[in-house]
Amino acid sequence: MGISIGMVGLGNFGSAFAPLFKAHPLVDRIAFCDCEPDRVEKFAKDPFFADKFNPRDVYSSLDEICRSDLDALVIITQPWLHAPQCIQAMESGKTVYSAVPLSCLPDGDEVLDWCNRIIETSQRTGKHYMLGETTCFRPQAMFCRRKALAGEFGDFVYAEGEYMHDVDNACCLRVVQRERTESRVGSEWPAREEAYFRRGKLASPMNYPTHSVSGPIFCMGTRARKVAAFGWRNRTGDSYFRTSDFSNVTALYELANGASMRVAEMRELAGQLSPLENETFRIFGTRGSFSENTWYYNGRTNEHDAIRPPQKRLYSDAELFDPLPPEVREAFLELQNIQSGDLQNRDFVPAGHGGSHPYLVHEFVTCVTQGRRPLVNAWEAGHYMAMGVAADISARRDGELTPVQDWGYAPEL
Ligand SMILES: NC(=O)c1ccc[n+]([C@@H]2O[C@H](COP(=O)([O-])OP(=O)(O)OC[C@H]3O[C@@H](n4cnc5c(N)ncnc54)[C@H](O)[C@@H]3O)[C@@H](O)[C@H]2O)c1
């Protein structure tokens, strides 16, 4: 028997995930929830969902859907709402998926408190929390994770993670900000943001650090210990940055595995970078290294190994992905073909943020069906946020070496 899933938040991003969750063969029942009735209605009336959707499964608030008998909730609401909503979902007995980040607020102490509470709630209730971090399910991350688990990097020596998203580039952040505040719930944000601003709590790209820090941390399976960071302040008086401290932050972390890692979170820089450049990471080890889809390997374990010819291979994204179970691949292929109108196509190409979307869906669904803890669980997700908070503290203190809070790893089940 399959599982039942409720989609909470059917705005721009949630709308992209609803068909994938419905298409997954282990999902038997899908429910829709949004405070905006037209956003729910769009899905409730779509014949694609009819075989797994009962009209009773329409909800207009989180409170209402938390009282349902659904197994799990997928929360893709505005980023400042995720943490309390995920806690409410776990308290009501649901396994929960959260869009990134765990919480996005311009107050580091408050963010750390939410991380604490998410971890504590997941542990106490026994309900799993998954962060839908697209970076961790990009093909590059899958490949590096496999290599790391096989020990082929040797010892890790250095890593980089970057999220270069200029405010005006593709997926214009000004438009995103406007659209997120258009809904009834969203319209409450500007007043809250102003209140933070008046208390001296200024925003920073490190309030949303997950796309840069998560790749190397997740693949290497390590934690950050300390950081020294520097910030750039907008000089043009751009209204987008009025409530921000920094528009760009660069950070150097010392990691628990002995490597160092340079991270850049940029919202103000020229250049429409290619998808491989604007959200990317590189990992260097003593034996193997990965950079821009290329794997370098010297196989060296001691000085005599240096005589071996070093290997270098450029991979296509298709070669980097983990395989999906055949029935899941088939179901996603069918959805892809319905969406593209090419029903004869046999080539499934994972799409959405580097192809991560179908994999995020598969990971969450299998966690629910197997009662397994997600790979990007509360402990992992909390650490990404702590890395951003520590970088902000350091940048505001002119690069002062700052410890990164660490809750350790999720306990074995
Ligand atoms: N690469 C990525 O991982 C990535 C990319 C884009 C967006 N996101 C994340 O996706 C999330 C959603 O972004 P979006 O652009 O779709 O936002 P959006 O404003 O378009 O949609 C959010 C929806 O949530 C609904 N909502 C909020 N609270 C609710 C409640 N209590 N009950 C029912 N419905 C509620 C709102 O009415 C709205 O329709 C954000 O947190 C963002 O960070 C992640």
SS3 145: helix
Residue 374 in contact with ligand 1 by CB distance below 6 A: no
Residue 81 in contact with ligand 1 by CB distance below 6 A: yes
SS3 106: coil
CA separation for the pair 261, 238 (Å, rounded): 31
Cα–Cα nearest to 86, from 106, 64, 103, 71: 103
pLDDT of residue 1: 80
Would residue 408 be called left, alpha or beta, if left means φ above 0 and alpha means ψ between -120 and 50 degrees?
left
Q: Give the up-direction half-sphere exposure of residue 218: CA atoms within 13 A in the CB hemisphere.
A: 32
Q: How many CB atoms sit inside 10 A of residue 310's CB? A: 10
pLDDT of residue 303: 80
- CB-based burial label for 55 (10 Å; 0-12, 13-18, 19+): exposed
Residue 39 in contact with ligand 1 by CB distance below 6 A: yes
Q: Which atom of ligand 1 is nearest to the CA of 60?
A: 33
The protein residue whose alpha carbon is closest to atom 15 in ligand 1 is: 12
Q: Best substitution site from 10, 13, 70 to test ligand 1's pocket, by max atoms within 8 Å of Cβ?
A: 13
Q: Which atom of ligand 1 is nearest to the CA of 176?
A: 15
For the chain, the domains span 3-134+324-370, 136-323+378-403
CA separation for the pair 34, 190 (Å, rounded): 20
pLDDT of residue 171: 85
**This prediction's pTM:** 0.97
Contact 7, 75 (CB under 8 A): no
Domain 3-134+324-370 - what CATH class?
Answer: alpha beta
* Radius of gyration for the alpha carbons in the chain, expressed in angstroms and rounded: 21
Domain 136-323+378-403 falls in which CATH fold?
Answer: Dihydrodipicolinate Reductase; domain 2 (3.30.360)
Distance 357 CA to ligand 1 centre (A): 15
Distance 269 CA to ligand 1 centre (A): 26
Distance 154 CA to ligand 1 centre (A): 40
pLDDT of residue 397: 98
Determine if the peptide bond prior to 101 is cis (ω within 30°).
Answer: yes
Residue 62 in contact with ligand 1 by CB distance below 6 A: yes
Q: pLDDT in tens for each of the 413 residues of the chain?
A: 899 999 999 999 999 999 999 999 999 999 999 999 999 999 999 999 999 999 999 999 999 999 999 999 999 999 999 999 999 999 999 999 999 999 999 999 999 999 999 999 999 999 999 999 999 999 999 999 999 999 999 999 999 999 999 999 988 999 999 999 999 999 999 999 999 999 999 999 999 999 999 999 999 999 999 999 999 999 999 999 999 999 999 999 999 999 999 999 999 999 888 877 889 999 999 999 999 999 999 988 888 876 677 899 999 999 999 999 999 999 999 999 999 999 999 999 999 999 999 999 999 999 999 999 999 999 999 999 999 999 999 999 999 999 999 999 999 98
Residue 83 in contact with ligand 1 by CB distance below 6 A: no
